[in-house]
Structure 1
Amino acid sequence: MTVKRPRLSLDDYERGVRGRNRAVLAQAITLVESRNESDAKLAQELLTRLLPATGGARRVGVTGVPGVGKSTFVDELGMRLLGRGKKVAVLAIDPSSTISGGSILGDKTRMARLSLEPDAFIRPSPSGLTPGGIARRTRETMLLCEAAGFDVILVETVGVGQGETAVADMVDFFLVLALAGAGDELQGIKKGVLELADAIGVNKCDGDGAARARTALADLRAALRYLPRRRPSWEVRALAISGQTGDGLDALWDVIEEHRRALEASGELGAMRAEQQRSWMWSLIADRLERTFRAHPAVAARLARIEADVLHGRTTPPAATDELFEVFGTAT
């Protein structure tokens, strides 16, 4: 028989998070991920209390196609940052099964060294089947980790070709990892992924891959000249790195710090974070409005029939939308 652990008080949560108590931090993250209404209320009260202690960390997003070596890269980068005296939190978004809703949650095993370090914290979170594979409460989790005193927050994405925009909109620096010789370094530009990047790291540039990495790097740097700048004060960089050996990672972190200084000097960092907050608010509003709309009794009563009409070509999506909103508006 499983004994349910009593929920901590608001004061207990606050003290535990501010004191970087790993067990309490993990419970606080579970609280903000909960779909229970009472948990959600407590979570927002906690975040409001902790808000003054947030905002000081370097927020770095890492994406790339499966097999590019994201977890190995994050493990090595994290260890190097610890060597610089940083405290590192990794938020690893795991893919959820479209059938069972379950997730692999295997990043702690793939980051074997980092997971053992007292100044590191790894939180694998299931994507929860949200658009783009982004965990529903990643932003709140980031704030909790900042309040706990972590200097660097690394957000590792699923890397399935979706959700890069969502991650880019919640971090300060967005890194795209590419594989030399796989076509990803140029194909990514066609997909628009590289247009979100602040830097591109050509990974696995060690051993036999070194020559291919140099070629890929030259191609990338030539291609980047044709991309519009995402930030007026920043020109996208391309570097050859190795998550396996650590080659190029110190230079990469220097680029991340240079990016921070450039955005602070131009005032773009503050403006970017403020816009991220506004965008976050509207995404939550849109999510709540959709849930309210779907749960409305008058809409729910007709939704299955109207969806069937759309599926079988008996009505158009615009006409179906108009009908549902008319029912929603009349019954409200």
Structure 2
Amino acid sequence: MGINPSFKNNKQSPENKKKAPIAVDDLFSELKKGNKTALAKAITLIESTHTDHKTLADQLIIQCLQLTNTSIRVGITGVPGVGKSTFIETFGSYLTQQGLKVAVLAVDPTSSISKGSILGDKTRMETLAKDANAFIRPSPASDSLGGVAQRTRESIILCEAAGYDVILIETVGVGQSETAVHSMVDFFLLLKLAGAGDELQGIKRGIMEMADAIVITKADGTNLEQVQLAKTEFKRALHLYPPKPNGWFPKVLSCSAIQNTGIAAIWDTVTHFVSTMKENHQFMANRKKQDKNWFLQAVDGLLKHQFYNTPGIQEQLKTLLTQIETNKVSPFAAAKVLIEGKTENT
């Protein structure tokens, strides 16, 4: 069957394109066929802040839910410079060579000043971006914690509906809470550098406790000796942590994305983890727990959105901010006044 005309590169005028309605059923139909253009459009739809688009996005997600739980979701994190993009390109290419379809949801850091993002992952993953069995989607992290886009969970659902077998989620890796990533993936992979020192000691324990595997990157050339020392060090460190509730003991591996070494062992570790979790019934139990957390976070987000969009709230907010600046009220007292819906006379 051919691609729906709405997804072809026709020569419509910009005005006609803006007026073209979004047909959710058609979008879902193309999505099921693995149409990359449809998948890109669907992700753009769920990322939109337009009220009408939110309604359509919800309808699309509901249809896609019937096609979920078909992939392996892998979260990948690590500090800037560890080689996440290079690793993902080599890892993703290895997976497509095994006959798997791979989706990469790469989250770029957003400037707190300009609110802009580079979104350059397709440039950094040039080879993978050209792979017919791969899909790369960079998204801005915006103000969300954990270095993930606000709609990453929905994007995962869409990628599964489009038939992708492995979904790789790359975080910005700047020391933000990685709990958000951990709460939406099956396997959490932490990339580390050998000889990087302990400048990140304050966040290392929390991330390492969540990791299902630690991979020392750039294991090539003169760096091999340091990599072996780092592997020994991390293995010792992991024995100091309490065992995971699912009974899995994190593995410590190494690889060279440039020389394409150690990549197969990493995938073997992921598949072994998944089969183990399915055997002890932890895999779907974890997915169901994640769905409940997703629900609770969605409630929090909706309450916050509805509160700030309540008539009069923005005016009250401006008044209270002025009072805080002039030391007429404390921040905590001002928050209480705003929640209770009362303002004090200035």
Q: TM range, normalised to the smaller chain?
A: over 0.9
Q: Is the 8 A contact 1:134 1:163 kept in 2?
A: no
The residue number in structure 1 matching 2:126 is: 112
Matched, 1:28 2:59: no
1:103 is matched with which residue? Answer: 117
Pick which of 196-205 and 185-194 moved more: 185-194
- Cα distance in 2 for partners of 1:191, 1:290 equals 31
Q: Which residue of 1 aligns with 2:302?
A: 288
Q: Cα distance, 1:131 vs. partner?
A: 2.6
Distance in 1, Cα, partners of 2:330 & 2:273:
48
User: Which of 163, 178, 183 is residue 169 of structure 1 equivalent to?
Assistant: 183
Alignment of 1:15-94 (within 5 A): 15-94=29-108
Say if 2:175 and 2:203, in contact at 8 Å, map to a contact too. no
SS at match of 2:291: helix
In the alignment, the residues of structure 2 paired with residue 147 and residue 188 of structure 1 have an alpha-carbon distance, to the nearest angstrom, of: 39
Equivalent residue, structure 2, for 1:136: 150
Aligned identity (percent) is 43
RMSD (Å) for aligned C-alpha atoms: 1.9
- Please, which moves more after superposition, 7-16 or 178-187? 178-187
Query: Any unmatched runs of 5+ in structure 1?
Result: none
In structure 1, C-alpha distance between the alignment counterparts of 2:75 and 2:226, rounded to whole Å: 25
Question: Distance in 1 between the 2:216 and 2:82 partners?
Answer: 9
Give SS of 1:269's match. Answer: helix
Amino acid at match of 2:233: D
Cα distance between partner residues in 2 of 1:2 and 1:100? 27
How far apart are the structure 2 equivalents of 1:183 and 1:313?
A: 44
Identify which range, 199-208 or 122-131, moves more after superposition.
122-131
Q: Partner of 2:188: helix, strand, or coil?
A: strand
* Structure 1 counterpart of 2:210, from 188, 193, 196: 196
Give the secondary structure class of the aligned counterpart of 2:34: coil
Q: Shift of the alpha carbon at 1:309?
A: 4.2
1:276 aligned partner: 290
Deviation at 1:90, TM superposition (A): 0.3
Counterpart residue number, 1:322: 336
Label 1:187 to 1:245 Cα distance change in 2 as closer, same or farther (>3 A).
farther
Residue pair 1:88, 1:121 contacting (<8 A) in 2 also? yes
The CA distance in 1 between the partners of 2:305 and 2:272, in whole Å, is 42
Counterpart amino acid of 1:19? K
The 1:83–1:281 alpha-carbon spacing in structure 2 relative to 1, beyond 3 Å, is: same
**1:303 aligns with one of 294, 317, 341:** 317
1:84-136, Cα deviation, whole Å (9 max, x unpaired): 11100000001122222221111011111111111100001111232333211
The equivalent residue for 2:249 is 235
Partner Cα distance (2:323, 2:123) in 1: 48
Aligned residues: 328
Q: Secondary structure at the match of 1:154?
A: strand
Mapped contact 1:185–1:220 kept (Cα < 8 A): no
Contact 1:108 1:122 in 2 (8 A): yes
Secondary structure of the corresponding residue to residue 113 of structure 1 = helix
Contact 1:71–1:107 (Cα < 8 Å) also in 2: yes
Q: How far 1:164 sits from its partner (Å)?
A: 1.4
Distance change (3 Å), C-alpha of 1:135 and 1:170: same
Task: Tell me, yes or no, if the aligned pair for 1:178 and 1:185 is still in contact at 8 Å.
Answer: no
How many Å apart are 1:50 and its aligned residue?
Answer: 1.6
Ranges in structure 2 where 5+ consecutive residues have no aligned partner: 1-12
- Structure 1 residues 166-217: Cα deviation after superposition (integer angstroms, max 9, x where no partner): 1111000000100000126983764521111111101111111110000011
In structure 2, what is the Cα distance between the partners aligned to 1:25 and 1:246? 30
What are the Cα deviations for residues 224-243 of structure 1, in whole angstroms up to 9, with x where unaligned? Answer: 01112333320111111112
**Alignment partners' CA distance in 2, 1:311 and 1:190:** 37
- Paired AA for residue 178 in structure 2: E
Give the direction of change, closer, same or farther, for the CA distance of 1:147–1:188 in structure 2 (3 Å limit): farther
Indicate whether 1:123 and 2:137 are aligned: yes
The one-letter code sitting in structure 1 at the alignment partner of 2:134 is A
Change (3 A) 1:184 1:123: farther
Change in 2 beyond 3 A, CA 1:4/1:203 = farther
